[in-house]
A and B are shown apart, each in its own frame.
Chain A
Amino acid sequence: MKYPLSWRLLDGLEAAAAVLWPARLRRLTAWGLLAPALVLVGVLVIGLGYMLEYSLHELDLATYRLTEAYSLTNYQTILDRPVYARVLGRTLLGAVLVTAIAVALAFPYAYALVRTRSAALRKALLVALFLPFFIGQVVRAYGWLIVLGREGLVNSALAGMGLPTVDLLFTYPAVIFGLVQYMLPFAILLLVPALAAIPEDMELASESLGARWISTFRHVVIPMAKPGLIGASVVVFTLTLTDFAMPEILGGGTSDFIASAIYDSFFQISNPGLGAALSMVLVTLGSLIVAGVFLVAGTGTLGVRGAK
């Protein structure tokens, strides 16, 4: 009996696996496959532990070293200086705005991608979706500098029409604009599977039952897309909350987010204790918000079924 080569190769592999990994070890297989991920997360947790440690030591201005004694001084500093509250508030507001705008813009894009009957349009939408991933965030931010700058395309066009030029760069709206543009592909990527999971018959059924498309959207499509909407919101929100490059480059120091403040603490004023404390505040805040969303939305979010 002559079987194809690929079959015989697979049979050989199976035989080898049976020797190297006997059946009684098989229930460990799942843990074995999980191990790399667990190690990675474990290293992160250790790093977080060190950060917590740092944050509890005050900077000794005489030696520029962290003092031995434990104290909450760094956290007190964050509370005392209004600049940190302002940066934090700006970051949170930015994250909320960017999430709302990006998800709102991503929804029609993802819907068109899923529902279009034209293969050409679907390909074009897919290419346009993945193209930005090939261009780094910093490169894109510099691209916006060229377009929006004082001598940039927009202002040249305005001047050409005899209109006064405007300062578009180094403003909060510029940062929000850059972040939305950066987050849009993430939001679309997370919405596409959620929308693809809604059978088209659901929409046709709704229509034949008497609903116009807007009612169908409100009562059928959006409720059924909820897992994707929440998943996309959570990802965009957390990515924005911790973003560094866009506020730094497009904000030019006028609209720093919390990540910039952390960077400055570590590398500008060389106060690792304060930087660590700010990091802990950011991690805690982000975790609480995401946990809150999952609590309210249930475990069905992100399409993870099982616990109902």
Chain B
Amino acid sequence: MDTGSSKRMVEIAGVSKLFGTVAAVSDATLHVDRGDFLTVVGPSGCGKTTLLRMIAGFEHPDAGEIRIGGRRVDAVPPYRRSIGMVFQKLALFPHMTAAENVAYPLKMRRFAPAKIPGLVDEYLGLVRLGDFKDRRPHELSGGQQQRVAIARALVFSPDLLLLDEPLSALDRKLREDMQLEFRRIQQELGVTTINVTHDQREALVMSDRIVVMEGGVIQQADDPVSLYRQPGTPFVARFIGVTSMFPGRVTKETGEAVTVAAGEATLTARGGGAVLGAGAAVECAIRAEQIAIGPRDGAPRFENAVDGIVRQRIFEGERMVYAVEVPGLGGAVLNVFDHDPVSHSVYDETQPVRLEWAARDLIAFPAGPAPAVTTENKPTGSLTT
């Protein structure tokens, strides 16, 4: 193929999978570079788990091809693929100790028996479980079980590590600790990793690259910062971060910037990719942290300004989350984060306020063939965690 193929550990080209008449994955194309941590993120049922199971070899693509380390794996059974997998429910063998669980892949893969105890100790040490090697899974805490599962998946030095939402069952604090722990181990060993999750925050925290999937289709693939700054579709804008959406129509287009009429307001936005001519219907997206909230009589700070009424206020400590109804935008409710609740004024429910934001922060997407099904118009402070 191309000259860069040696640094590609995984290449997926045009892969589709049908269950009955439903396409779980359609025409997915993506690649993972050697040593990268890639996260496939999307809501449940978006096809991310099916994609992962095809890479692992538990499902077979109906179309397209999957290459691992340059080798086509369509006809390769799972036990011959060099893949370590951590399952959602971990799937630790309950009748084996931690050490026996970790030794299992070494025995199955016919490692020299003399080498096995040393490798088991090394990897249990890597996950800081050296003192727990003789415990059975049910004698270990949730976090310790996670560590055994990851040691078991890595001990035979696989080409690729697959994570199928293993952290989703943990409570928040432990989940955040384990995210960093997984990342530390992954970087220490330099193992190429594909992680699957519905948790956008986990995707942002852990990944070198993120792939957003919805309805079996890859929406966008990019590094976390670019993805957050430049969402390619309204879905990505809504799914990553807390974003408010409202409909509008282009009245004037001047290069990068477009003028949008939305309700009674006239706003300046940047085009989200496609060329938008005058008269085009658009969906506008604005992130909660890009909106400045203030009194109606303040001096103007940004290009765009609308007046609204506070409908809900949630105090989260490090930030204040407002839901502000804007009659001038057809009654759309915008989510607003104020990241300095210590020195800024606090606005209570029913209080009139002015919302302002910069033109570059409002993204105008061409409206899809169908009208937008939902706009994120509820206060969603907890959504980000």
Contacts and interface: CB of A to CB of B under 8 A. Distances in A.
B347 interface: no
Contact of B93 (A207, A212, A220): A220
B79 to A, nearest CB: 5
Contact of B104 (A201, A219, A224, A226): A219
A210 B110 CA distance: 9
Query: For chain B, which range describes its interface: under 10, 10 to 19, 20 to 34, or 35 or more residues?
Result: 20 to 34
B87 interface: yes
B85 interface: yes
Contact of A199 (B83, B91, B95, B152): B91
Given A215-B108, A219-B104, A207 B78 contact: yes
A205 interface: yes
A208 B83 contact: yes
A224 to B, nearest CB: 6
B94 interface: yes
Interface string B81-111: 1011101110101110000000011001100
Interface in A156-209: 199, 201-202, 204-209
Main secondary structure of the interface of A (DSSP, over half): helix
A202 B91 contact: yes
B264 to A, nearest CB: 45
Contacts of A206: 93, 104, 108
B156 interface: yes
A51 interface: no
Contacts of B152: 209
B85 A208 contact: yes
Which of A201, A205, A209, A212 has the most chain B CB atoms closer than 10 A to its own CB? A209
A199 B89 contact: yes
A201 B108 contact: no
A260 to B, nearest CB: 42
B91 A223 contact: no
A192 to B, nearest CB: 19
Contact of A208 (B56, B89, B93, B94): B56
Contact of B78 (A199, A204, A223): A204
A55 B107 CA distance: 58
Nearest to B110: A210
B57 interface: yes
B108 A211 contact: yes
A208 B84 contact: yes
Given A201-B87, A201-B91, A208 B104 contact: no
B73 to A, nearest CB: 13
A263 B85 CA distance: 61
Contact of B108 (A204, A209, A223, A226): A209
Nearest to A219: B104
B81 A208 contact: yes
Contact of A202 (B77, B79, B93): B93
B105 A201 contact: no
30 contacts: A199-B89, A199-B91, A202-B91, A204-B87, A204-B91, A205-B87, A205-B91, A206-B93, A206-B104, A208-B58, A208-B78, A208-B79, A208-B81, A208-B85, A209-B84, A209-B105, A209-B109, A209-B152, A209-B153, A209-B156, A210-B156, A211-B104, A211-B108, A212-B79, A215-B108, A219-B93, A219-B104, A224-B94, A224-B95, A226-B95
